[in-house]
Amino acid sequence: MSKITTARLLAMKQARQKIAMITAYDATFATLFEQAGVHAILIGDSLGMVLQGEDSTLKVTVADIAYHTRCVANGSEKAMIVADMPFMSYSNPEQACTSAAELMRAGAHMVKLEGGDWLTETVTQLTRQGIPVCGHLGLTPQSVHVFGGFKLQGRDTEQADQIKRHARALEAAGIQLLVLECVPSQLATDISQALSIPVIGIGAGPDTDGQVLVMQDALGLTSGYVPKFTKNFLADNGNVAAAIEAYVAEVADGRFPGPEHSFN
């Protein structure tokens, strides 16, 4: 696998080649995932829940993400490294630039922000400073208390149109990648077709330009509630490397996600 850049991801969308992304938080898993063919690694603020044992992502700090980004960067040579901007680390463009600079210095190639068209000024300022940005719409975990829980978004026409509007505004502001989480499959299809940038889904059906999973979900390490959109790839494979290779292969040929992992 050659080095993955934003230009390479765009070319994959144009060629209808699926993008496989997964979270990682250390050098060992970063190396293993890259060798298994993963195109992009996300240092997600999900670490607050899966590593720190919190009940949401809200307590994660920029320092937390920077530390784990540095670990991942030390284990990765070719994958695109995307670092989450934690809760309240980008409340204005100036703060966003300061936070993003710390993550880029730690080894990120791109930062990810949750939110809609109110972030356009921030996105524009980040891209002016040479920082690639990934947007995140649909279920945005940092807004869990506003949503009243981890719930499907875009269920009615008004919600769907709002998400479409936010997606177009963020693309116009300069994002180079978009994550759609927990939205109906048809809405995700419509947005993927409408945008020129790659769209990565999680609980967004099979027709986005790629998929992302939290590594613990992909390896069946999640206890208690298991989201509908996840799949345990370790269950039918002999080891972690084979499990992630299966994930990449099933994303590539469209087997994952299936109807059972998607929302109508």
Is 239 a domain residue? yes
45 annotated among ligand-binding-site residues: yes
List CB contacts of 229: < 8 A, sequence separation 6 or more: 182, 202, 203, 204, 257, 261, 262, 263
pLDDT, residue 197, reads: 98
- Whole-number Å distance between alpha carbons of 103 and 197: 23
Report the pLDDT averaged over residues 213-232: 90
CB 79 within 8 A of CB 24: no
84 annotated among ligand-binding-site residues: yes
- Whole-number Å distance between alpha carbons of 19 and 235: 23
Indicate the pTM of the whole model. Answer: 0.95
Question: Residue 210: which CATH number?
Answer: 3.20.20.60
- HSE-up (13 A, CA, CB side) for residue 86: 24
Active centre residues (catalytic): 181
Residue 144's pLDDT band, with cuts at 50, 70 and 90, is low
Report the pLDDT averaged over residues 76-105: 98
Is 1 a domain residue? no
Is 174 a domain residue? yes
Q: Which domain holds residue 205?
A: 6-261
Q: Which residues pair with 20 in a beta bridge?
A: 211
- In the chain, the number of structural domains is 1
260 annotated among ligand-binding-site residues: no
pLDDT at 39 over 90: yes
pLDDT, residue 224, reads: 75
